[in-house]
């Protein structure tokens, strides 16, 4: 898979979940067995803002030439998704999310492995 394809997939995922978290956070989290109070709604919508930022980053960086800036973007996305894997696993294991939360782990893991590959396997 090319970096461009990985970034396009990431952009689509960020768009879908960004919209859901911004406008429908309670129904989305309800699918995963979680409920949100006022602070949770705020955090979900703040996370939507982060996803829209990642959407813009991946969409506009998908055609970037090899450069230090592109490497920094790859590292940023790798770290973001790797932390997402860990946080989501902890929350599924602790029962904050129901077993559907493992699907979120898979999505984060897919991107962490993808960006990890482009960070570690390719020369600067």
Tens-digit pLDDT profile for residues 20-74: 999 999 999 999 999 999 999 999 999 999 999 999 999 999 999 999 999 999 9
Tens-digit pLDDT profile for residues 14-32: 999 999 999 999 999 999 9
User: Across the chain, how many H-helices and E-strands are there?
Assistant: 5, 0
- Round to whole Å and give the CA distance between 11 and 121: 22
Averaged pLDDT, 8-13: 98
Cα 27–Cα 85–Cα 34 angle in degrees, nearest 5? 25
Residues in Cβ contact with 11 at an 8 Å cutoff, skipping those fewer than 6 apart: 54, 55, 58, 59, 62
The runs of H, that is alpha helices, within 32-100 are 38-61, 68-93
Q: What are the structure tokens assigned to 24, written together?
A: 């429908």
Cα 116–Cα 122–Cα 124 angle in degrees, nearest 5? 110
Tens-digit pLDDT profile for residues 66-118: 999 999 999 999 999 999 999 999 999 999 999 999 999 999 999 999 999 99
Q: What percent of the chain has pLDDT over 90?
A: 97
pLDDT of residue 39: 96
Residues in Cβ contact with 32 at an 8 Å cutoff, skipping those fewer than 6 apart: 97, 98, 100, 101, 104
pLDDT of residue 122: 80
pLDDT of residue 123: 72
């Amino acid at each position: 898979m090319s970096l461009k394809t990985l970034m396009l997939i990431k952009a689509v995922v960020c768009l879908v979940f960004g919209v859901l978290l911004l406008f429908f956070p309670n129904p989305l989290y309800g699918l995963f067995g979680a409920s949100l109070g006022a602070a949770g709604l705020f955090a979900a919508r703040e996370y939507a803002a982060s996803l829209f930022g990642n959407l813009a980053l991946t969409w506009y960086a998908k055609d970037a030439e090899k450069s230090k800036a592109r490497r920094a973007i790859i590292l940023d996305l790798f770290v973001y998704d790797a932390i997402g894997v860990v946080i989501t696993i902890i929350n599924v294991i602790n029962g904050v999310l129901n077993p559907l939360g493992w699907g979120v782990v898979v999505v984060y893991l897919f991107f962490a492995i993808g960006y990890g590959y482009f960070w570690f396997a390719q020369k600067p």
